[in-house]
């Protein structure tokens, strides 16, 4: 059976990256996806914005929706302080298993927990099953129509505290108009837009940061 694009990305990382070196894994994925096959990683341009917001948040508990092959999970986890951890949710089992291998190559398996399932089912389980009390940083990069309902669910479940930072990918392309409308009009969120480009393309895109004010 033909290999998937995601399997080919894993092959490239496994062959070219330096084991235990997250930067070399990120560079390998960016090189492969800009030169060989486009893939929906946040990429190196928007990745710099992600880095800056993660550094600003300096999270103890970080949450990500949309693991894919683990690129942004590695980007986030490489910046976390010693006892901090990232929980990342992926609903596609093939993607989850490929991400697990790529994260292992990056040497970040101890800091990252991949949870397989749908965000709407996992979010209510985070407290009991994953000992999560509050979430300091959330990266939204899954189905764009889930950004808004999942933000509401996070708030309703009481995971957001004063200063919790949300960062959403693909605000322009593919776009998340209902999320943007909701978050910018919500009195408890302080929003900032970061214009950028779609990963590996000249197409316009943007990220939106929303700080929860309690």
Ligand X SMILES: O=C(NCCCOCn1ccc2cnccc21)c1cc(-c2ccc(F)cc2)cc(O)c1O
Strands 189-197 vs 160-168: parallel, antiparallel or unpaired: unpaired
Taking CB under 5 A as the criterion, the residue among 91, 170, 200, 210 binding Mg ion is 170
Least distance in Å: CB of 152 to ligand X?
15
Least distance in Å: CB of 205 to Mg ion?
8
Q: Determine, following the binding rule CB under 6 A, whether residue 146 of this chain makes contact with ligand X.
A: yes
Convert residues 99-128 into a mask of x (bound to Mg ion by CB under 5 A) and - (unbound).
Answer: ------------------------------
Q: Determine, following the binding rule CB under 6 A, whether residue 91 of this chain makes contact with ligand X.
A: yes
199 is an active site residue: yes
27 is an active site residue: no
145 is an active site residue: no
Query: Distance between CA atoms of 57 and 205, rounded to whole angstroms?
Result: 23
Least distance in Å: CB of 106 to Mg ion?
19
Contact segment (CB under 6 A) with ligand X among 106-114, 168-176, 177-185, 188-196 equals 168-176
Q: Determine, following the binding rule CB under 6 A, whether residue 119 of this chain makes contact with ligand X.
A: yes
Catalytic residues: 141, 144, 169-170, 199
């Amino acid at each position: 059976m033909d290999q998937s694009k995601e399997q080919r990305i894993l092959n490239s990382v496994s062959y070219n990256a330096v084991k235990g070196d997250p930067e070399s894994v990120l560079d390998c994925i960016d090189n492969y996806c800009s030169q060989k096959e486009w893939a929906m990683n946040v990429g190196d341009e928007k990745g710099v914005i992600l880095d800056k917001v993660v550094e600003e948040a300096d999270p103890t508990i970080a949450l990500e929706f949309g693991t894919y092959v683990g690129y942004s999970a590695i980007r986030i986890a490489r910046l976390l302080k010693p006892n901090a951890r990232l929980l990342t949710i992926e609903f596609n089992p093939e993607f989850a298993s490929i991400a697990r291998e790529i994260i292992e190559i990056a040497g970040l398996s101890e800091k990252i927990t991949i949870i397989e399932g749908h965000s709407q089912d996992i979010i209510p389980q985070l407290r009991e099953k994953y000992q999560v009390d509050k979430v300091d940083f959330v990266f939204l990069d899954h189905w764009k129509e889930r950004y808004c309902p999942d933000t509401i669910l996070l708030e309703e479940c009481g995971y957001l505290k004063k200063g919790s930072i949300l960062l959403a990918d693909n605000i322009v392309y593919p776009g998340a108009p209902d999320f943007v409308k909701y978050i910018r009009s919500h009195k408890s969120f302080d929003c900032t837009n970061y214009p950028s480009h779609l990963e590996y393309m000249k197409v316009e895109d943007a990220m939106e940061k929303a700080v929860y004010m309690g």
